[in-house]
Amino acid sequence: MTLPLGIHVGERLSLEQTYGQAEFADQNGFESVWVAEGRLARDGIVPAAIIASRTRNVKIGTGVVNNKSRNAALMAVTFKTLDEVAPGRAILGIGAWWEPLATKVGQPLSKPLKSMREYITVLQTFFRNEVVNFDGEFVQMQDVRFDSMYRENKPVDIPIYIGAVGPRMLELAGEISDGVHMDFLLPPSYMVGARQAIDRGVAKRTDGRDGIDLTQIVSCSVNDADPQEAIDACKAFLTLYLCQQPHIAEHCGVERELVDRLQEIAGWPATPEDIKRAMHLVPNSLVQNVTACGTTDDAFQKLQAYQEAGVRCPIISTLGDKEQTLTRLAQAAKA
């Protein structure tokens, strides 16, 4: 591909569509498939394992799991297992859980930077196949390691990408991780400050590494016959995100007043009808600033803009006519 691409799959797709897109990616030169896990709709690990068993070339990442709901030792052995299914192809994408969901399930966010540092430090020790002893505020381990009785315990090469948005988490990612997996709905202009924050973290590294990878999920919708229909598909998604994950608003240039008006219409959890009523408040210009939508040329040019801004590999998330969006963007990337 002239432009490296990945695919983001999540609960907006049926499982059949999920596996179909992953197999398409594997057969058409895509670099990676990232399995979402966020809302209480679908686990990310099970589909990732099935995708790993159905593909041969594409990398499989979680985009992202959280560092709250799984013990760090279990997370380490889960990805060790995924590496057995797809040797050298597993990527652990991990982020802090988001509010208000974290509080609703009894795991409120507290000191997210410290908890992420502790969690990743422990994961990396496990992946090196070392004995783990760690007494942190959020993670405690006592004299544990990979301990298979029936095969050799060996280090595993599992890259860790932090799902970061804010500058302090981006800086932490630059310091301790292998990459950043940026969230939806951030304009290319956001990458300027993001890269500066990452670079500040890289400058603190003690392993001699001079940079980390940068991927970003980009909501995409293509309809060459009716570009407005494609824009509306992204508009509905943006509306949902602003209602239910409003922290993204400050990063994508949305005024708090608009978020408040949207949330008055679409509560928690929002229904499709709520979103349809609210989305008329969101202008096309805002949608086109933070997604890749419209005609094939419109969408592909936006993906190129992300790459020019510093995103090495855009990760496309299909909305609207998903098949047309996926196939047209794949063709454009090969041209």
CATH number at residue 18: 3.20.20.30
Mean pLDDT of the chain: 95
Q: Which two tokens stand for residue 283?
A: 């202008």
Please give the pLDDT value at position 252: 84
Per the listing, tokens 């919708």 go with 221
The CA distance from 178 to 162, in Å, is 8
Task: Please report the DSSP string for 203-215 in residue order.
Answer: TT-SS-----EEE
pLDDT at 97: 84
Terminal-to-terminal C-alpha distance of the chain? 8
Q: Which domain holds residue 209?
A: 6-224+291-333
Looking at the structure of the chain, the number of domains it has is 1
pLDDT of residue 267: 73
Pairing assessment for the beta strands 132-135 and 140-144 based on DSSP bridges:
antiparallel
CA dist., res. 329 & res. 335, Å (int):
10
Indicate whether 54 belongs to any domain.
yes
Rounded average pLDDT over 202-221: 97
How many angstroms separate the CA atoms of 326 and 321, rounded? 9
Instruction: Tell me the per-residue pLDDT of 75-119, one tens digit each, with 9 for 90 and over.
Output: 999 999 999 999 999 999 999 987 778 888 988 889 999 999 999
Question: 315: which residues sit within 8 A by CB, 6+ positions away?
Answer: 5, 6, 7, 8, 32, 34, 63, 181, 215, 216, 217, 218
- Is residue 48 included in any domain, yes or no? yes
Does position 2 have pLDDT exceeding 80, yes or no? yes
261 located within any domain: no
The model's confidence at residue 228, banded by pLDDT at 50, 70 and 90, is: very high
Least confident of 183-197, 200-214, 242-256, 293-307: 242-256
Please count the other Cβ atoms lying within 10 Å of the Cβ belonging to residue 282: 20
Q: Which residues of 106-126 are buried (b: 16+ CB within 10 A; e: fewer)?
A: eeebeebeebbbbbbebbbbb
- Quick one: average pLDDT of 287-307? 98
Check pLDDT > 90 for residue 229: yes
Q: How far apart, in Å, are the Cα atoms of 147 and each of 45, 46, 75, 192?
A: 21, 23, 15, 44
Contacts of 314 (CB under 8 A, 6+ apart): 3, 4, 5, 6, 215, 216, 218, 292, 303, 306, 307
Residue 240 placed within a domain: no
Is 50 inside a domain boundary? yes
Q: How far is CA 213 from the centre of its chain?
A: 13
- On the question of pLDDT at 268 being above 80, the answer is no
Backbone angles phi, psi at 251, to 5 degrees: -90, -15
Report pLDDT for 207.
94
Which range (30-44, 194-208, 302-316) has the least confidence?
Answer: 30-44
* 219 domain-assigned: yes
pLDDT at 281 over 90: yes
Task: Judge whether 229 lies within some domain.
Answer: no
Instruction: Answer yes or no: is 118 within a domain.
Output: yes
pLDDT confidence bin for 335, thresholds 50/70/90: confident
| Exposure string for 157-187, b = 16+ CB within 10 A, e = fewer | ebbbbbbbbbeebbbbbbbbbbbbbbbbbbb
Chain segment 124-169, per-residue pLDDT in tens:
999 999 999 999 999 999 999 999 999 999 999 999 999 999 999 9
